[in-house]
Amino acid sequence: MAKLQLKNLNKTYSPKVVPVKDISLDVSEGDFLTLLGPSGCGKSTTLRLIAGLEQPTRGEIRIGDRDVTYLRPGDRDIAMVFQSYALYPHMTVYDNMASSLKLRKISPSEIDRLVTEVAASLGLTELADRKPGKLSGGQRQRVALGRALVRQPEVFLLDEPLSNLDALLREKVRAELKQLFSSQKAPVVYVTHDQTEAMTLSTKVAVLNNGSVQQLDPPHLIYNRPANQFVAGFVGSPQINLLVLKCQENFAILGDFKVRLPNLPTVPPEIVLGIRPEHVGFADAETGKMPNPEAIKGEVYLVENLGMQNLVSVRVKGVESVTVRVLLPNDRQWNSEIVELVFGPQLLHWFDVKTGDRLPS
């Protein structure tokens, strides 16, 4: 059974430049692991270490029962898809896909079988005789994927393969990728800074920052139970509301409203409250209705039309420096700029002010 293991993998260029800091990961058969994070977080360097394009300062890389840490890329039995496609411009689609098989001295009949099957699955059969210069960006990306798939490697590595495509084509190819790799058993490691790709494609996501893994979990846990303030702020669009609030007894003070704290061993002087815009709503403000004691009063000062939804920014009454963003259906109306915000306590996230770590809730 194919399995990729990284054990305390480290890459150090200088005391101040350490792009990969003792990363340990297991990617099993059928896993689609995405390395997600901002530019410079170490995700591409990690992928290059797995591929053998760079050597680690220390640590171990295993594929199956083999230690491949210092093997050449060609001896690792991996297939890599690059951001730039990296196709041979003088070769046809067929020859590009067959090139690695010819180097491995596979028989011509087996090469033809493999290339024909993969080309059919990617919708490239009619393009087999064309050269890359005659293809669209999406078609070139499919050829690059096909060249990796025909090799039937132990591990697939994909380095931001959709970043050169426009938004509509990216969505189409992303759906194709999901279908394609759902039938593959070999572990997949995918690098991106695009959280939508990470959430839709992956069985597991590793969020990286400053060379370290901040959280490794299935996508739904990354979103619903972020391990720290960085993960909460990086994953989710629109971005989560992160409010630094003073604490008083068992409450966090939000303007004129008190939010009950989770059951903590000691109450800190300050705490970070996280609440996603889609988990905040407006209380019904019908004429004659009594004020809602469970609602937070605020004033609408900005409305951003996102198409199907509106992103509404509200200044909290009693503390103008605190703004809460609310995501509402675009047909949701309100009668006044003064509104009442409501949210369920089970949807709140609490973080330590100093460490940024998630607090129990």
Question: How do residues 298-346 score in pLDDT, each as one tens digit?
Answer: 999 999 999 999 999 999 987 767 899 999 999 888 888 899 999 888 8
356 found inside a domain: no
> Does residue 164 carry a pLDDT above 80?
no
- How high is the mean pLDDT of the chain? 90
Q: Which long-range contacts (CB under 8 A, 24 or more apart) does 98-106 make?
A: 98/150, 99/147, 100/147, 100/150, 100/151, 101/150, 101/151
**Is there a single domain that holds both residue 174 and residue 250?**
no
Q: What is the mean pLDDT of the segment spanning 127-153?
A: 89
Assess contact for 180 and 174: CB atoms under 8 A.
no
| pLDDT number for residue 288 | 39
148 found inside a domain: yes
**Is there a single domain that holds both residue 58 and residue 185?**
yes
Question: 213, 234, 255: which is the final residue of a domain?
Answer: 234
Angle at which helix 137-149 crosses helix 108-121, to 10 degrees, equals: 140
| pLDDT number for residue 210 | 95
331 found inside a domain: yes
**Is there a single domain that holds both residue 205 and residue 250?**
no
**Is there a single domain that holds both residue 129 and residue 265?**
no
Question: 219, 234, 249: which is the final residue of a domain?
Answer: 234
| pLDDT number for residue 294 | 63
Question: 202, 234, 266: which is the final residue of a domain?
Answer: 234
CA distance 219 to 190: 14
What one-letter code names the amino acid at 221? L
**Is there a single domain that holds both residue 208 and residue 253?**
no
Q: Assign residue 173 the CATH number of its domain.
A: 3.40.50.300
Counted domains in the chain? 2
| pLDDT number for residue 346 | 87
Residue spans of alpha helices (H) in the chain: 43-51, 93-103, 108-121, 137-149, 167-182, 195-201, 219-224, 229-234
Q: Which domain holds residue 341?
A: 241-351
Give 3-61 pLDDT, tens digit per residue: 999 999 999 999 999 999 999 999 999 999 999 999 999 999 999 999 999 999 999 99
> Does residue 93 carry a pLDDT above 50?
yes
> Does residue 287 carry a pLDDT above 50?
no
**Is there a single domain that holds both residue 229 and residue 83?**
yes
> Does residue 286 carry a pLDDT above 60?
no
**Is there a single domain that holds both residue 260 and residue 112?**
no
pTM: 0.89
**Is there a single domain that holds both residue 282 and residue 157?**
no
**Is there a single domain that holds both residue 208 and residue 282?**
no
10 found inside a domain: yes
132 found inside a domain: yes
| pLDDT number for residue 68 | 96
**Is there a single domain that holds both residue 192 and residue 52?**
yes
- Report percent pLDDT > 90 for the chain: 68
**Is there a single domain that holds both residue 215 and residue 338?**
no
359 found inside a domain: no
Q: What is the mean pLDDT of the segment spanning 188-209?
A: 94
**Is there a single domain that holds both residue 55 and residue 144?**
yes
| pLDDT number for residue 1 | 58
Beta-carbon contacts of 230 under 8 Å, excluding residues fewer than 6 positions away, are: 207, 209, 214, 356
Q: Assign residue 281 the CATH number of its domain.
A: 2.40.50.140
361 found inside a domain: no
CA distance 217 to 207: 9
124 found inside a domain: yes
| Residue 233: pLDDT band with limits 50, 70, 90 | very high
Distances (CA, A) of 211 to 21, 36, 140, 256: 5, 11, 31, 41
CA distance 134 to 358: 51
